[in-house]
Amino acid sequence: MSEWLSREEALERLKVRPQTLYAYVSRGRIGMRPDHADPRRSEYRADDIAALATRRARGRSPSAIAESAIAWGEPSIVTAISTVWHGQLIYRGQDAAVLSEHATLEETAALLWAMPQPARFEAPLPDAPLQFGRASAFAQLAMLAGQERPSLGRSAASLCADAARAIGVLVGALGASAGTDPLHRRLARGWSVGDDVADAIRRALVLLADHELNASTFAARVAASTGASPAACLMAGLATLSGPRHGGAGEAVMHLAEDAARHGAEAAIRRWLGHDRPLPGFGHQLYPEGDPRATALLAAIGNSDETLQSLEAAAIAATGARPNIDFALAVLTRGLGLPRDAPFQLFALGRSVGWAAHIVEQIMSGNIIRPRGRYDGLLPPTDR
């Protein structure tokens, strides 16, 4: 019978950070199960850890180390903006879940951008009536990206000013009303919901503001490393966010919820898993004990949606995975009457603040991000 270790024991035997342990679990290299004494915690298979520790002690080639760093591996870019630490999301030394209890997105931007005053995201007055939504966000940001000057040689304050202007373009394109109020209130007015909903929107935006080196942030940093303008870098982040395995996961949760409403939660989950698709809205490689962003948002707004309640219970029973931020955004959207695409729009607006922070940090570093490919194709014949 296999021996199972606590997280602390596993970390001690491997001598790694929690993120690395979770990466090994996500890649199937270490078995994990819920702790029978406390289902909120996890246990890790001791045999897998022993085998992995032995392989680590023998060393790996530089190419293997570099390849593993790209996907949930060891940290590969130095940043002072955010990290995941002992199951908590940290923004420049502050717990993001605690920050979301009171901060606005503008105040969070000041923290992440290392600026003395809250940011201002003023939506420009359109020359013609806009069709609000995702397509408009891409179109308006692309137009600005084609006009802005490159970022090289400029001060952090100048770059932040351009980033704030570009985020203002996103704000207007996604339907926030005009004015100088904090963004969450302007979004609530634009989406025709009340002040009580505005506070839930505020929490979601703060919790989404950054998440260390996720795919869209990495894309924004790559663009920044070439000297592209802040708007162009934000465009790179937005394009990457649109993928179904990133910011598009919220839409998948909405589809799953609609399927559960028609066929029942257990049947919907069976159908989804039967098509060999990961269950959207549940589990996260960095948070095997549960996504603290989802915990914070759900604690604030509750879950009165019967379909999503049954879906949560059935998903935990079937997979052992707990709700993540995508599920919490679906609860927010369905329960509070937000536009159907609100999960993506909130993700884009909140995360744009983090993209901007990483853009400035990358430009100030002076480095270009240019990894090498490990070629696995044909080569021309050589003369002998």
Active site residues: 284, 326
d(CA 359, CA 356): 5
Q: Residues 367, 229: contact at Cβ < 8 Å?
A: no
CB under 8 Å to 67, separation ≥6 — which residues?
374
Largest separation between any pair of C-alpha atoms in the chain: 78
Beta carbons of 91 and 99 less than 8 angstroms apart: yes
Q: By three-state DSSP, how is residue 179 classified? A: coil
Gyration radius from the chain CA atoms: 22
Place of tokens 């995975």: 321
Give CA–CA dist 336/187, Å, rounded. 13
* Neighbouring residues of 211: CB distance < 8 A, sequence distance ≥ 6: 82, 84, 89, 217, 351, 354
Instruction: With H, G, I as helix, E, B as strand and everything else as coil, classify residue 128.
Output: coil
Q: Tell me which residue of 104, 83, 106 sits closest to 94, measured CA to CA.
A: 83
Could you give the CA distance from residue 8 to residue 5 in angstroms, rounded to a whole number? 8
194's CB contacts (< 8 A; 6+ apart) are: 188
Please answer whether residues 221 and 369 qualify as being in contact, where contact means their C-beta atoms are separated by less than 8 angstroms.
yes
